[in-house]
Amino acid sequence: MRPVSEAPSSTPALLRGERPPAHEPFRFSLKDVPERERPAIYRDFIGRWVCGLDVEPLPDGHFDADVAVRKLPGVQVMTGKVYGSRNRRTGELLADSVHDFTLMVNLGGPYLVSTHDREIVLDDGEATLVSLAQHFSMTHQPPGGMMAIRIPRARLASLVAHADDCCVRRVSRDNPALELLLSYLPLATSGQTAAGGELQHLVAGHVHDLVALAVGATRDATEAAREGGVRAARLNAIKQDIAGKLGEADLSVATLAGRHHCTPRFVQRLFETEGTTFTNYVLTQRLSRAHRILVDPRRAGEKIAAVAYDCGFGDLSYFNRVFRRHYGVAPSDMRAQVLQDMPEGLT
């Protein structure tokens, strides 16, 4: 996901106890708050706007919090750092009717999660499920990197049999569903997703699928997830891989399939669900990268051949031909137009 520092900051308003944006991402930070005031402010923030937790600073630790919160219909993702405190869901706090499930992912530093009869310490990259309907406590040591993915109780209960029994059990860092979930979340919480209501619901459903698979989905939910969240997340992961390898002329479906532990035909079917093919997708991405370079005045001095090779085209004549077919103009003509439009003295 995007770093916390990139999230829009509404910290001053939140520190005053004001309501955070209903649908926009926001950031909460104790960076400029005096140490003695931090527990009360954080308790008010997480108790009123995230979930009811009692916050107890550790006697020998520095307490800090800096988190970003992003929302979709039925999904809330909080990521950042929280350490130096014991955070408990106990007693009268359970009467607040907030009984959702949260998948806690440890992104850095020993993370102790416990209930009255169970206790685990998560290593980096591991996760566990907690229920806001149960007593539990969490204590994180620096650097305190964490991610909390909250979904409605009814939704997870429909996907996982006896979901409460799955709480405070270790989810390994190499759990395939967890890996897919963490790679998919940047797309799920991107600005493009936030712009469309129908897309938001679709993506939120994919997140539900992947959380359920990570902690133990039912057989029916597992089968449904293969056509929903798993398929979407794997396609997203493969597209990210392609984006990083566009400059390699020998990029192939077989190579990608090997890296993602699936068959070439499976990769091809993923792209067919979007009405395209692996070959056409890669070609379009390469042409798009070439176009961005050719219209960038800062790269006006690069030769057309160098642009073609940089984008993974091993044959210059083929590049010229497919570029003209796609954009209706030759690469050299597009470059010439950019140079013509540049202010005098910059060419």
- Residues 37-72 pLDDT 10s: 888 888 888 877 777 788 888 887 789 999 988 888
Half-sphere exposure of 119 (CA within 13 A, CB side): 6
The pLDDT of residue 266 is above 80: yes
Mean pLDDT across 80-95: 83
Name residues whose C-beta falls within 8 Å of residue 281's C-beta, 6 or more positions apart in sequence: 239, 242, 271, 274
Q: List the structure tokens of 107.
A: 């992104």
pLDDT in the model for residue 342? 64
Q: What is the DSSP letter of 120?
A: E
The percentage of residues in the chain with a pLDDT greater than 90, rounded to a whole number, is: 38
Domains of the chain: 4-243 (2.60.120.10), 246-341 (1.10.10.60)
Q: Is the pLDDT of residue 10 over 80?
A: no
d(CA 51, CA 315): 58
> Where does the pLDDT of residue 143 fall: very low under 50, low under 70, confident under 90, or very high at 90 and above?
very high
How crowded is the C-beta side of 318, counted as CA atoms within 13 Å?
9
What is the arithmetic mean of pLDDT over 81-90? 90
Give the per-residue pLDDT at 9: 62
The whole-angstrom separation of Cα 209 and Cα 223 is: 10
For the chain, first and last CA: distance in Å?
39
pLDDT value of position 260: 82
* 154 Cβ contact list (under 8 Å, min separation 6): none
Name the band, by pLDDT with cuts 50, 70 and 90, for residue 191: low
**pLDDT score of 157 more than 80:** yes
Please determine, for residue 103, whether its predicted confidence score (pLDDT) is greater than 90. Answer: yes
Q: Which of 93-97, 114-118, 325-329 has the highest mean pLDDT?
A: 325-329
Report the pLDDT value the prediction gives residue 122, as an integer from 0 to 100. Answer: 96
Q: Rounded to 10 degrees, what is the CA torsion of 198, 201, 203, 209? A: -150
Could you tell me which of 253, 250, 245, 249 has the C-alpha nearest to residue 309?
249
